[in-house]
Chains A and B, each alone.
Chain A
């Protein structure tokens, strides 16, 4: 059934439909709407789940680590400083192979205090072993949440579903909310391969010797790689039931494109308009929409982008002392491809600044008019 709902509520509807059993969160703008509605669902009996109120994000994730270890499906949501506070436990979650799913609303890190969108919070957690999916609209948010549970519980890795503050979290859009029967078909109950069980007592996570540790780490790497295959399988099944699919990267008009925009999040939607306008003028432009950031879909990126003449990466984030983070990843993915196109890095929309059609067109012309990137990152709009 189609309803006009907020991006935050698209997350909450997915959590309800996924029959999550334990939710633990600490409120933080712009995430609060998600757990607000979930707490109502738990209190009112719409969901048969325990909602744990905790004193911090660190505790929120710690509580879920305990709950998930007992073999139940769990959820949390956070943003910005809250995610930063979880950092230690983000590592623990993946190391313990717990398929926890989190909604992460991209918000700028303080100081100065800023509640608007910026991807640095989630991208700064790229090495914690969490799968990361970035969403473009409310429908993709709901669908990605359902897929996240399927994927997490298949590969035993946690998944972060990431959405832009306000542009997505607080914007009302038409979203098709599936029925419980449809979701049940796609997402069966969680059947853990291991769990804490009082009938069969055991302990997890104790001291291991270096060799075993290294094997554990290589298993996580293997699971990350394997998730790319499973995601493909999951998309197929998802499409059969819901007639929608989301590939790890969506290559839009890339086949004959000379300049390819690389975008993520809601910037992609704006860029689609720019693409239309430029194509109408005869410009050979394409878009590579990055849905999956971890694992980074290197092969798909190479296939879609290496034939272009130039790559223009729009980063709503920055790694100080280096460059935009998507640009880094693109460069790393392409560097072993002979004669690969140069990567132009553009920093735009930091701290929630609008990324407009005009700004994207300016990026296009700058890229077209330069033979080679004059510097690693160009800060746009300041």
Chain B
């Protein structure tokens, strides 16, 4: 209390004593915690990428750190930024607010930035282990397995039948979707992690016998390279081309010229790739699919672009006969009718009896799915103890090295990111097998699930910071949207339709740094702290302490009254309010 001398009496309570002696923390019955949680995108990413954090780092301009955060879970950001069907975006909480974050666009931007500056990632690597591992097939699954095994300290040899590694990325995906340098840079980056790739080495059944003494385990990821027969009359006509082979010919440098009208049979991504390639080579393409467009397994965006480019689609028709007629072919098409839908919403179809018609075409391509080229690639053929995981099957034969089957041989969804998930799971499973035995695999992998799984995190497996995340997946209604403003999603710049038809140039163009930052800045960063400091600003007790140096915040429980303001005002649910234990 003090009284200022003046003619006007002015007694006011004033204290210059510190209030620190009043430990208001003793009033608390609720305790706020910094409790980072799981973003829906990261849980939906088969590779379990830490997307909320990647977007945060990108928005802060920390491009190298953002790129390395991807590399901890996926060695292929340049590839996945382009051709991954990005299931992450379908579950993005921002999608309920305005539009989902263009996660794949930011991912590709980071890979390109790393490549432009020739960045070398600093990734943790565990101490060297004595076991050697052989990998069969240098597709994305095999390469990912080798990459993650190298991180875990194993030396790996990868064997590839083709003259260059990459598998379908190299020999299947057309250049307009995936330019060759994007893939080569990332494979070079994997090789730099002491992964040895041996090309031109076809691996037969006998190989496993041969390598028994050289390797302690073998990962088998040689994919599906044999096109499934449709089983119709005339299929054997030599001119009926195999879609995958056609794509491989183009990617090997040939320029076939499918003049006239080509029929492409199938509804998957291969059918779309074949049809779009035909258009670029000067032909006309007609896709024949026995179900409806919405039932096609091909990615919708790819179907849309194919149609824009002039590819035609005929739904609900099944070829039943192919005949040759003076240099062209007559396809007999059976019309199909729908009879309800299956559990996934796909049409059940029946032949519409009596309704057939003929179609004259100059070429026929089959793209109706593929299967393993050899029977021994089926894990069921192997005797011994086997363990079926979500993206890989581990077999421990009575004699010889452990085998892990992965990639398209095992995955239901055949995409590059599922291949990465498979390679990662295989690497973890083998590491647990060697360190703790087969019984420990399931529980150890469960501890690395992102959210409720099935995605796995290698960072978590290696004991990184992500291990402290709560597995709760943040939902839209847990976001405090008062702190966000409507802002439209970035519009992907693309080649004009006319430009696309003239060449195999990449369609999706690069984006500038400021656009990438702006897009990443739209991210809610669900469940993770981006140091916005709302908690500090709103705390009435100045009990949120900014730690010097490490960008962290902590709560001073001597003074925190447990009012919960910080938790409510956290825009991204990176805090939790818990009842105090008495």
Q: Which residues in A have some Cβ–Cβ distance to B below 8 Å?
A: 96-97, 154-156, 193-194, 200-208, 212, 215-216, 218-219, 222-223, 226
Contacts and interface: CB of A to CB of B under 8 A. Distances in A.
Contacts of B11: 212, 215-216, 219
Nearest to B2: A194
Interface of B: 1, 4, 6-16, 19
Contact of B9 (A154, A201, A208, A222): A222
A215 B8 CA distance: 13
B7 A204 contact: no
Contacts of B13: 204-208, 212, 216
Given A194-B4, A208-B1, A212-B1, A223 B9 contact: yes
Given A193-B4, A208-B1, A202 B15 contact: yes
Given A205-B13, A208-B13, A212-B13, A155 B8 contact: yes
A222 B10 CA distance: 9
Contacts of A194: 4, 10, 12, 14
A207 B11 CA distance: 13
Given A193-B4, A208-B1, A202 B10 contact: no
B12 A97 contact: yes
A283 to B, nearest CB: 44
A209 to B, nearest CB: 10
Given A156-B8, A219-B11, A226-B7, 4 more contacts: A155-B8, A216-B13, A222-B8, A223-B9
Contact of A156 (B10, B15, B16): B10
A216 B1 CA distance: 11
A301 B499 CA distance: 92
Nearest to A216: B11
A380 to B, nearest CB: 41
B15 A203 contact: yes
Closest 10 pairs (CB-CB, A-B): A219-B9, A202-B16, A193-B4, A222-B9, A219-B11, A208-B13, A216-B11, A203-B15, A206-B13, A155-B8
Contacts of B7: 226
Among B7, B11, B15, the one with the most A-chain Cβ atoms within 10 Å of its Cβ is B11
A202 B8 contact: no
A203 B4 CA distance: 15
A207 B1 CA distance: 10
Nearest to A222: B9
A77 to B, nearest CB: 26
Contacts of A97: 10, 12
Contacts of A216: 11-13
Nearest to B19: A203
Contacts of B12: 96-97, 194, 204-205, 216
A37 B10 CA distance: 35
Contacts of B9: 218-219, 222-223
A219 B10 contact: yes
Contact of A204 (B6, B8, B14): B14
A223 B14 contact: no
Given A202-B16, A203-B19, A193 B1 contact: no
26 contacts: A96-B12, A97-B10, A97-B12, A154-B8, A193-B10, A194-B4, A194-B12, A200-B16, A201-B16, A202-B15, A203-B15, A203-B19, A204-B12, A205-B13, A208-B1, A208-B13, A212-B13, A216-B11, A216-B12, A216-B13, A219-B9, A219-B10, A219-B11, A223-B8, A223-B10, A226-B8
B99 to A, nearest CB: 29
A201 B542 CA distance: 15
Contacts of B1: 208, 212
Contacts of A207: 13
A87 B16 CA distance: 29
A226 B10 CA distance: 12
A71 to B, nearest CB: 13
A194 B15 CA distance: 12
A155 B9 CA distance: 8
Given A208-B1, A212-B1, A193 B15 contact: no
Contacts of B15: 202-203, 206
A208 B11 CA distance: 11
A204 B19 CA distance: 12
Nearest to A98: B12
Nearest to A208: B13
